[in-house]
Copies of this chain bind each other. A is one copy, B any other.
Amino acid sequence: MTAGSIAPLDYASLKKKFQPFLSRRVENRFLKSFWDASDISNDVIELAGGMPNEKFFPVESIDLRISKIPFNDNPKWHDSFTTAHLDLDSPSELPMSRSFQYAESKGTPPLLRFVKDMVSRINRPVFSDEMQSNWDVILSGGSNDSMFKVFETICDESTTVLIEEFTFTPAMSNVEATGAKVVPIKINLTLDRDSQGIDVDHLTQLLDNWSTGPYKHLAKPRVLYTIATGQNPTGMSVPQWKREKIYRLAQKHDFLIVEDDPYGYLYFPPFNSEDPSENPYQSSNLTTERYLNDYLMKSFLTLDTDARVIRLETFSKIFAPGLRLAFIVANKFFLERILDLADITTRAPSGASQAIVYSTIKAMAESSTRSSLSFKEAMFESWMQWIMQVASKYNHRKNLTLKALYDTESYQANQFTVMEPSAGMFIIIKINWGNLDKPDDLPQQMDILDKFLVKNGVKLVLGYKMAVCQNYSRQSSDFLRLTIAYAKDDDELVEASKRIGNGIKEFFENYQKKGEK
């Protein structure tokens, strides 16, 4: 099927099409339930399920104090917060008598509805039928849990998975735990936003010539795992035209796309070297609509005529990682297989986490001043406003870090290039070897550089440690990854940038000295 001919896929078609993608182990998944609630009407006393009455719970109520703005430590903002109250009866859609009780493995209905609505507004799958009944969302216990559940469902020993040559390496662990094999794919490390990210020509070549290529001993790939937006570690985003090409490759070579998108909301407008503090997020012109349409990269779901995309999102970066709360978007057939796995592993993610997220967003909506919105719209709008504030803060941090790096002596001596990120939490710094020979023992040299950095009081991640295959990416792994997420304030980022400059400078002094010997 080509992108032109869109026909909604029903469950039977999805099943027929995607059954062959399931791992061998899926067939052993079967929850042996011993009762169902189907014939219980209101006047029947239910003594079947082993659920404790909610009055056994020691916590009677919970009160949350919710920021209206991240880093709310300016005294004048101090009263700028709202509150949420939870008890056994409230909030009415998700009271503690439900959130603290055994609950649906898929997630509690109010939070699921919110999440599905959000996906539908921002990245509605092309293959969706009118009722949006052929795709769905399942909550999970964080993105790692999502990855496990997805790969366990679609990978086994015979599966080959394509992954960007530099990646969040724990994802490889999830893939390899199933017995599947990982193949790195080239990425273009460039500042040019229109050509950065996955090298599509290379990927095309690789796939078109698989049977004679370097991985001919492996089965043809059945899955592409990609962090397409604000990639980890590179901070780069695959531009739209490449997404379209990649999707067509997925159709041609019949592989699934697992799109991991923990950072996508943290979009960075281009850095303005004339005015480093320019932050378009602070502009009153930036409406939610503009943010969604002009800033955010579109999910592969928005190209997905075939229902072959599985999208992973998380609350970790925009709410809190300790909640262990994330979600998976997929066609209904895959989603049910993933739900089968949830039933026999984690069941539902923490109801406490779900209640906190739901109640927080609800409180944000209730304290919103735009009374013209329906409650559903207000929930969405308020959450997007929060996210934009988070993105704004990240953009500010990115700007000041870039400026501080550019101000270093080392940068001005052209010892490194900053690969300005287009989204996310990371900045990579590429080492410039200049007239010097690029070392043969690049990883060892990067380890030495690391020592100079730590000596100067700053800890970064070495690029080669995030390579899918260190050998494959030998020539391009001479970079460092830093995060702007964790530092306690602006000063710390500026100070860290100085230390990075000093560390690189000292490294080169030492490197040249040794070279001269």
**Segment touching B, from A11-19, A32-40, A117-125, A280-288:** A32-40
A481 contact set on B, CB distance < 8 A: 48
Q: Bound state CA distance, A458 and B45, in angstroms?
A: 5
A30 to B346, CA, bound (A): 20
Contact, CB under 8 Å: A322 / B454: no
Of B32, B466, B496, the contact of A169 (CB 8 Å cutoff): B32
Interface size of A as a range: 35 or more
Q: Does A277 contact B (CB under 8 A)?
A: no
Q: State in angstroms the CA–CA spacing of A44 and B452 once bound together.
A: 12
- A31/B173 contact (C-beta < 8 A), A67-B60, A100-B323, A487-B53 known: yes
Per-position binary interface string of chain A over residues 47-76, scored 1 when its CB falls under 8 Å from any chain B CB and 0 otherwise: 111111111111111111111001111000
Given contacts A29-B177, A67-B60, A356-B352, contact A232 B50 (CB under 8 A): yes
**Using an 8 Å CB-CB cutoff, how does the interface string of A391-407 with B read, 1 for contact, 0 for none?**
00100000000000000
| Choice from B25, B57, B145, B364 contacting A320 with Cβ under 8 Å | B57
Alpha-carbon distance between A132 and B304 when the two chains are bound, in angstroms:
55
The contact of A52 among B57, B466, B485, by CB within 8 Å, is B485
Measured in the bound complex, the distance between the Cα atoms of B132 and A89 in whole Å is 44
Contact B148 A346 (CB under 8 A): yes
A322 with B350: in contact, given A40-B459, A47-B483, A73-B55 (CB under 8 Å)? yes
The verdict on A103 contacting chain B, using a C-beta distance below 8 Å, is yes
Contacts of A425 in B (CB 8 A): 50, 52
- Contact indicator A465/B34 (Cβ below 8 Å): yes
A45-B458, A56-B390 are known contacts; what are 4 more A-B pairs with Cβ within 8 Å?
A45-B487, A47-B496, A52-B486, A60-B65
Q: With an 8 A cutoff between CB atoms, is A345 at the interface? A: yes
Q: Complex: how many Å from CA A29 to CA B176? A: 8
A141 to B31 Cα, complex, angstroms: 18
Residues of B contacting A393 in the complex (Cβ-Cβ under 8 angstroms): 56
The answer for the CA separation of A265 and B284 in the assembled complex, in Å, is 59
Docked complex: A209-268 residues within 8 A CB-CB of B:
232
